[in-house]
Structure 1
């Protein structure tokens, strides 16, 4: 499932993020890539231990927890601390698949089920920089408004096209889901969204709503890995 979620960050939050990032410590993004990805990765990233990046990442995690659509779609078990990148002057990231396992602070590992990019620059602020994601329907090109997020399976081949003018600034992170299988997560998301829609016209105690909620939670029990 490829899903866009609008307005995870409000415009004022985006402005504050950008102001803080202007003071952050940026480094060559290739330094954090694997041997194969290093050859096609040309961008800058905020250092993993940079205080500004850590503070902004914590703020973003709080917002994600307050975003029902994200929680419904990702069913997160663990989230890799958000990082921040910048593409400018022809910067790009060639076709690649994200690593299956990543290390978390403290030594735990995370299985990358979902990848996410939250855009922090408006689409008209830079040329190029589309996130191209290959899925069952072909190549999907994504370039969202600042503050909006795209969530997609980490198994997807994806790339960032060259930024020929301006600067593309974004946050990125990975999610280990309680439900590993993407098809199962998609079914659960569709079911949950249908329940939410029904709840706007029917009472939460309506037997039809209660039955669907029971089915939803029983499916989560069947598929969740804790």
Structure 2
């Protein structure tokens, strides 16, 4: 079962606006949000108007995206944050924290999402590498595309050697904590949606019944 999902999230106008906000924004050392991690070498946008607008653009796009909602089954989504990597910067192999404070509440961190904003030809290095046992999967997606993956998966950002890697990231609490269970439920929903015109109404209804019953079995209480 596929534990991660790639999808197109932002259109050209949204990418252009986010790049403009990044160009005019103030930046801080990325370790401000994880000061004990010496392997984190990047910058993130400073709190303020540009941070709020950029995060809101991406959050609204995620909320309106069927692939994101079908796969993540989100309960809560952290406000997305812009990050950038210049030559020599990278993020060593790490795992994300299990719980994250969001204002007055704390969420369980089930999924991470990286949104690529720079043209991949404009920089060298900077790939997101996800580790699963002996397997290393490398991702360097077109601007406006995103990847969802379990937050408990070890991952890294390879050092940039040319240009600038501009991206955004966020974390999601899902209705289902277990990655394999979540993938099964989301896959059933996607199949039901994609095959609706090719199967009888009764078969379509049965698929949805199975999906919803698994959600009852594995999902968190509202």
* TM-score between the two structures when normalised by the length of structure 1: 0.93
The within-5 A match list for 1:77-96 is: 77-96=75-94
Other-structure match for 1:193: 190
Judging changes above 3 Å, is the alpha-carbon distance between structure 1 residues 145 and 54 closer, same or farther for their aligned structure 2 residues?
Answer: same
Other-structure match for 1:25: 26
Contact residue 14 and residue 57 of structure 2 kept, 8 A: no
Q: 2:210 aligned to 201, 212, 215, which one?
A: 215
Contact residue 82 and residue 169 of structure 2 kept, 8 A: yes
Query: Is the aligned partner of 1:129 residue 2:126?
Result: yes
| Deviation at residue 100 of structure 1 after TM alignment | 1.0
Distance 1:120 1:30 in 2: 21
| Deviation at residue 30 of structure 1 after TM alignment | 1.4
Moved over 4 A (4+): none
Question: Structure 1: 5+ residue runs without aligned partners?
Answer: none
Q: 1:154 aligned to 147, 151, 155, which one?
A: 151
Other-structure match for 2:141: 144
Contact residue 73 and residue 186 of structure 2 kept, 8 A: no
Other-structure match for 1:108: 105
Higher alpha-carbon deviation: 63-72 or 191-200: 191-200
Superposition RMSD in Å: 1.2
* TM-score between the two structures when normalised by the length of structure 2: 0.95
| Deviation at residue 87 of structure 1 after TM alignment | 0.2
Question: Structure 2: 5+ residue runs without aligned partners?
Answer: none
Distance 1:147 1:11 in 2: 7
3-state DSSP class of the match of 2:164? Answer: strand
Query: Is the aligned partner of 1:69 residue 2:82?
Result: no
The count of corresponding residues between Structure 1 and Structure 2 is 219
